Amino acid sequence: MTNTTAPTIDLPALVAQTSTGLNDASADAATVRFDVRASLATGTNTQVDITAGQHSFTIDEPPALGGQDVGANPVEHLLAALAACQVITVKVWAAKLGVTVDDVDVELSGPIDLRGFLGVDPDVRPGFGEIEVTARISGPEPAGAYDELIRKVEEHCPVLDNLTAGVPVRATITAG
Amino acid sequence: MTNTTAPTIDLPALVAQTSTGLNDASADAATVRFDVRASLATGTNTQVDITAGQHSFTIDEPPALGGQDVGANPVEHLLAALAACQVITVKVWAAKLGVTVDDVDVELSGPIDLRGFLGVDPDVRPGFGEIEVTARISGPEPAGAYDELIRKVEEHCPVLDNLTAGVPVRATITAG
């Protein structure tokens, strides 16, 4: 799974160039739109085929939640999105700050009280009650050199922002 | 990618049994904990290897954002998590309500203003400014039979809950 090909992109140069290019950009010019499509696999309870750009993968549930465990489930993908966003934000901001980072490892854990999802108790929320993130950054810099990086990651990680502050979701569901 | 094996699980029976079993459950007994691990692939800018239970996959960025496009990126996985959660919540609540659903398709789209992520403008948030979801449910029921289902999905989708209402994230980042 791991592609160990050396990166062909000079990340510090790219980040500096992109940041400079955005200095005088309008909101429209600075905005990237992301699109994803999903559909239930025919004849299954819970297998969802996802398409995002050139990529496709399947999200499912374990048997205890009605599925066949063909892929990680939606809330695991939510945690994965946060984990990857933390790692990438570390690398991008390390490039901006001129700090060397060799490795980044993240563990995430969160509880879901199923009484919310299944409507057993209206006072229980359906989603995670909290999410715990433990991240470790490794590199050759002296102790303290990573402090500013850690602050910048906490301020600028897109998925962390959307999960902690929320985001307006305009959902239109039609049936027939 | 699609597994078209007929589902071996009777979803209405499972959902009814699980819901009944949760009626008198304590919060502890009703709670499932989800865990995910992530690590930067050695020598890469942005390839993140994810492990969730028995599943593993790679999240990356396109070249314009410093990666090699080995997998969908973190914010696409965030959208995928929401999409799959909507589809599965439709199926689970259709099973609870006794409504037949044949197909579910979802399109999601959201804008990110990169000036937030890259710290160019402190007034721009790093994450999605909004997320637009368009879902279509197909089935043999008469018009109107899906109205209650749609309300229940909007109320009980775990990822929708976490994204619209936010969730406390306790992040501990260490370095050295």
Query: Are the Cβ atoms of A169 and B163 closer than 8 angstroms?
Result: yes
Pair (B64, B82) in one structural domain: no
The tokens for B111 are 């804008």
Overall number of domains in chain A: 1
Residue of B nearest to A174 (CA): B136
The beta-carbon neighbor of A7 closest among B43, B109, B114 is B43
User: Is A10 within the bounds of a domain?
Assistant: no
pLDDT digits (tens, 9 = 90+) for B7-54: 578 999 999 999 999 999 999 999 999 999 999 999 999 999 999 999
Is A47 in contact with B27 (CB distance < 8 Å)?
no
User: Is B125 within the bounds of a domain?
Assistant: yes
Pair (B59, B81) in one structural domain: no
List B134's β-bridge partners, or say none.
A172, B107
Q: Which 3 state secondary structure label does DSSP give A140? A: coil
- Structural domain ending residue among the three candidates B71, B95, B115: B71
Q: Domain with B141 in it: what CATH number? A: 3.30.300.20
Residue of A nearest to B142 (CA): A176
To 10 degrees, the CA torsion angle through B120, B70, A58, B161? -10
User: Average pLDDT, stretch B76-99?
Assistant: 98
Exposed, middle or buried, B140 (CB in 10 Å: 0-12/13-18/19+)? exposed
Mean of the per-residue pLDDT values of chain A: 95
Distance from CA of B148 to the nearest CA of A (A): 11
Pair (B18, B33) in one structural domain: yes
User: Is A148 within the bounds of a domain?
Assistant: yes
User: Is A124 within the bounds of a domain?
Assistant: yes
Q: What pLDDT is recorded for position B5?
A: 55
Q: What pLDDT is recorded for position B143?
A: 78
User: Average pLDDT, stretch B61-84?
Assistant: 97
What range does the domain containing B59 cover?
Answer: 9-71
Q: Which residues of B touch A68 (CB under 8 A)?
A: 3, 5, 7-9
Pair (B66, B80) in one structural domain: no
Residue of A nearest to B22 (CA): A115
Pair (B62, B102) in one structural domain: no
User: Is A143 within the bounds of a domain?
Assistant: yes
User: Average pLDDT, stretch A102-112?
Assistant: 98
To which residue do tokens 């690398």 refer?
A: A91
Residue A61 or B2, more confident: A61
pLDDT digits (tens, 9 = 90+) for B102-155: 999 999 999 999 999 999 999 999 999 999 999 999 999 997 899 999 999 999
- Structural domain ending residue among the three candidates B48, B71, B94: B71
Rounded to whole angstroms, what are the CA distances from A143 to A93, A126, B176? 17, 41, 6
pLDDT at A75 over 90: yes
User: Is B138 within the bounds of a domain?
Assistant: yes
Sheet strands (E) in B17-168 = 31-40, 48-52, 55-59, 103-113, 131-138
Q: Which 3 state secondary structure label does DSSP give A136? A: strand
User: Is B56 within the bounds of a domain?
Assistant: yes
- Structural domain ending residue among the three candidates B71, B93, B123: B71
Q: Which 3 state secondary structure label does DSSP give B159? A: helix
Pair (B48, B29) in one structural domain: yes
**pTM, full prediction:** 0.96
Query: Are the Cβ atoms of A78 and B79 closer than 8 angstroms?
Result: no
Q: Which of B85, B104, B160 to mutate to test the interface with A (most CBs of A within 10 A)?
A: B85
The beta-carbon neighbor of A80 closest among B33, B77, B127 is B77
Percentage of chain A modeled with pLDDT above 70: 96
Q: How far apart (Å, rounded) are the C-alpha atoms in residues B49 and A9?
A: 19
Query: Are the Cβ atoms of B47 and A156 closer than 8 angstroms?
Result: no
User: Is A168 within the bounds of a domain?
Assistant: yes
The beta-carbon neighbor of A52 closest among B30, B41, B80 is B80
